[in-house]
Chain A
Amino acid sequence: MSTEAQTKDGILKAYAQTPDNVVYRTFVAETVVLNLNTGKYHGVNPTGGRMLEVLAEVGSVEEAAKVLAEEYGRPLEEIQDDLCKFCSDLEQRELIILADEPNG
């Protein structure tokens, strides 16, 4: 997904997939993400870690935003902005794939 996915609407329509070469583990203070292809480790804070988990569970970025908005008791639009920015960051680091269709 290219320029379209980088807009909020484009990202919301997408389905987040974790590539096989990306693994992560959640700790108390952070979630550690490893890209096996690059050998680079990335740390995300607990909120980002929870976003990763929900994205892995539901796939759809739009649905994940709804789940997180309810969970955190925050306005949907605010969560959508944060989640889309997070997804965009992850995609740039090749830690997720934003696909047009769900996995499988």
Chain B
Amino acid sequence: MSPTAESLNPSLQPVPAERMSPAEKIALVPEILLAYRQARRELSRSDLPTVLEKLRRGAEADPGEFSPASHQTGKQLGGAVKKTLGLIATRSRCLMQSLTLTAMLSRRGIRSSLVIGVESGEEFGAHAWVEYHGRHLLPPLKRRFERLTEL
């Protein structure tokens, strides 16, 4: 039996393809909607730090080293969450998308950060997004938000 790349280096993880197929995207929709419902229900009962603690059960406490596979998975899920929940009219859209994505990543054992940023000046604005090792997983907005806190 000839050695494979995985047997030579057991830590090698295949990185998901850059793009998901349409079927893969559609398959995520039920999970996204369930995670969204869970996040919304928790947020109606508890404060944000408590909600995050609940949604992160399943993810490792320490994000560990950067994993290209986890990053790619995170980006794909982020795109799917944004597209799916973008169709739902909801208050605090960015926060709900971020919480939904956090829950889905946690189910896959991926620890992420939820970042809140603000824009101060003539018009005040606030935005929430998810990062994995400092990299955006939800597509960033064109406006620039200064980091306020990372949870």
Residues of A that sit less than 8 Å from B by CB: 21, 23-25, 27-30, 32, 34, 36-39, 41, 43
Contacts and interface: CB of A to CB of B under 8 A. Distances in A.
B121 A38 contact: no
Interface residues of B, number: 14
Interface of B: 47-49, 116, 118, 120-121, 124, 126, 146-149, 151
A23 B26 CA distance: 38
Nearest to B121: A29
Nearest to A36: B48
B149 A36 contact: yes
A37 B49 CA distance: 7
B121 A36 contact: no
Contacts of A21: 47, 49
Contacts of B47: 21, 36-39
Nearest to B122: A29
11 contacts: A23-B148, A27-B146, A29-B120, A32-B148, A34-B116, A34-B148, A34-B149, A36-B149, A38-B47, A41-B118, A41-B126
Contacts of B116: 34
Contacts of B151: 36
Contacts of A37: 47-49
Chain A facing B: main interface SS: loop
B49 A25 contact: no
Contact of B118 (A25, A28, A39): A25
Given A23-B148, A38-B47, 17 more contacts: A25-B118, A25-B146, A27-B120, A29-B120, A30-B120, A32-B120, A32-B124, A32-B148, A34-B116, A34-B126, A34-B148, A36-B47, A36-B49, A36-B149, A37-B48, A37-B49, A39-B48
A59 to B, nearest CB: 21
Q: 4 closest pairs, A vs B, by CB?
A: A27-B120, A23-B149, A37-B47, A25-B148
A41 B148 CA distance: 11
A34 B125 CA distance: 12
Nearest to B50: A37
Nearest to B117: A25
